[in-house]
Amino acid sequence: MWIKELELKHYRNYDHLLASFSSGLNVFIGNNAQGKTNFLEAIYFLSLTRSHRTRADKELIHFDHSTVSLTGKIQRVSGTVDLEINLSDKGRVTKINALKQAKLSDYIGTMMVVLFAPEDLQLVKGAPSLRRKFIDIDLGQIKPVYLSELSHYNHVLKQRNSYLKSAQQIDAAFLAVLDEQLASYGTRVMEHRIDFINALEKEANTHHQAISNGLENLSLSYQSSVVFDKRTNIYQQFLHQLEKNHQKDFFRKNTSVGPHRDDLAFYINGMNANFASQGQHRSLILSLKMAEVSLVKALTGDNPILLLDDVMSELDNTRQTKLLETVIKENVQTFITTTSLDHLSQLPEGIRIFHVTKGTIQVDSEIH
């Protein structure tokens, strides 16, 4: 799939903008603080109805206005789709082909994106919440049902934690009802995650071996806070551990086990990647991002859109070349932001260049 056209009204520092794109490589050049990342963020927001930079929707609205509108024309294998998001004081409205979407899970997955931003380089050494977010965003696009089950899980978790905070003493019968619901949704969330990690590992290892010239193997391990011996026992074990931890949870006023506390570990040649070099971290993250692209195509039959936000300057020539080779081979529409073309080596033919200045975009003719 690829974006043919994008229109922004009152989005961050863009008052009104209409742009059309190449189905291949699109490069946005400009100095810092001109709006390059805002533009990529708008594409990301149109796909996932959330920003990767802020949780406050108000920050997305141009300072002179009270509403924001994003519309995009997407070319999928199945045909053209029109997407629209409107934000105002009354909330958010999402539309597919002018029809309102009541559920988030009905909207997400229509346009799939893979974002590679400088903060992704913290994925290995950063907090576990970063790795859970990485899983949730990718899996949510590929399997919208996962988002629905995760939402149900988080709702019950919030109820349980609220009860633990407010209760003077434990009502075992009431907590047992919440435990059953939490274990039911949590088990499904974990099963989806385990399947996803197994599939991602195969793709990522293939790319990692190519980048390291066959010298390194990459493996991924889902670190569950629920101890279980085999997959068919997850629900029973989860329920048992929730019951066993009643007193501990009551004392701490929160839920001590479940997917909300799970993590993801990376290993290079069997060694925990925490101990790897910075260069190995970059290869690992690059392998993951290329694996995301391959996996989305394998599972949905359609390419995602790749957003590279100021990361080319973080990669050396070898890694840049591997990334661009994958993009061209897989025929993935790609958006790159950079302050100068000097960072980019071996650019392919047929790229479209956009110059960004203070919320306006000027298009160069395509380079052949």
161 is in an annotated binding site: no
At residue 294, does pLDDT exceed 50? yes
Residue 366, pLDDT above cutoff 60: no
Can you say whether residue 359 is alpha, beta or left, with left for phi > 0 and alpha for psi between -120 and 50 degrees? left
Averaged pLDDT for residues 134-148: 92
Rounded to the nearest 10 degrees, the angle between the axes of helix 172-211 and helix 278-300 is 110
- In this structure, how many other beta carbons lie within 10 angstroms of the beta carbon of residue 231? 11
Asked whether the beta carbons of 190 and 230 are under 8 A apart, the reply is: no
| Segment 302-318, tens digit of pLDDT | 999 999 988 877 888 88
Which token pair is 339?
């302050």
Instruction: Report the half-sphere exposure of 281 (CA within 13 A, side-chain side).
Output: 15
Tell which CATH classification among 1.20.1050.90, 1.10.3720.10, 3.40.50.300, 3.40.50.1980 matches the domain 122-301: 1.20.1050.90
State residue 198's pLDDT score.
Answer: 96
Domain segments of the chain as ranges: 1-112+304-368, 122-301
Q: Is 32 annotated as a binding residue?
A: yes
Q: How far apart are CA 80 and CA 4, in angstroms?
A: 9
277 pLDDT higher than 50: yes
Q: What confidence score (pLDDT) does residue 367 get?
A: 46
Please tell me the distance from the alpha carbon of residue 218 to that of residue 271, in angstroms, as a whole number.
9
Q: Does 31 show up as a binding residue in the annotation?
A: yes
Global confidence as pTM: 0.90
CA-CA distance, 315 to 351, in Å (whole number)? 20
Whole-number pLDDT of residue 313: 79
Predicted local distance difference test score (pLDDT) of residue 240? 96
- Cα–Cα distance, 192 to 143 (Å, whole number): 9
pLDDT digits (tens, 9 = 90+) for 159-192: 999 999 998 888 889 999 999 999 999 999 999 9
Confidence of residue 20 (pLDDT cuts 50, 70, 90): very high
Helices (H) and strands (E) in the chain, counts: 9, 15
Is the pLDDT reported for residue 343 higher than 70?
no
Predicted pLDDT of residue 296: 92
Beta-carbon contacts of 78 under 8 Å, excluding residues fewer than 6 positions away, are: none
Given a cut of 50, whether residue 368 has pLDDT beyond it is no
Residue 289 marked in a binding site: no
Q: Is 36 annotated as a binding residue?
A: yes
Return phi, psi of residue 183, to 5°.
-65, -35
Rounded Cα–Cα distance for residues 79 and 277 (Å): 45
Strand ranges (DSSP E) for 168-245? 218-223
Residue 152 pLDDT class (50, 70, 90 cuts):
very high
pLDDT in tens, 21-57: 999 899 999 888 888 999 999 999 999 998 888 887 8
Task: Indicate the DSSP class of residue 271.
Answer: E
Domain 1-112+304-368: homologous superfamily in CATH: P-loop containing nucleotide triphosphate hydrolases (3.40.50.300)
90 is in an annotated binding site: no
- Name which residue leads in pLDDT, 191 or 363: 191
DSSP states along 9-54 = EEETTEEEEEEE--SSEEEEE--TTSSHHHHHHHHHHHHHSS-SS-
Kindly state the helix (H) or strand (E) to which residue 136 belongs, with its residue range. Answer: helix 128-142
- As a whole number, the mean pLDDT across the chain is 91
Cα 6 from Cα 41, distance rounded (Å):
12
- Percent of the chain exceeding pLDDT 90 equals 67
The mean pLDDT of 248-269, rounded to a whole number, is 96
Q: What span, in angstroms and rounded, lies between the C-alpha atoms of 143 and 140?
A: 5
* pLDDT for residue 82 is more than 50: yes
Helix (H, G, I), strand (E, B) or coil at 266: strand
The pLDDT tens digits for 184-238 are 999 999 999 999 999 999 999 999 998 888 999 999 999 999 999 899 999 999 9
Instruction: Determine contact, residues 117/309, Cβ cutoff 8 Å.
Output: yes
Does position 346 have pLDDT exceeding 70, yes or no?
Answer: no
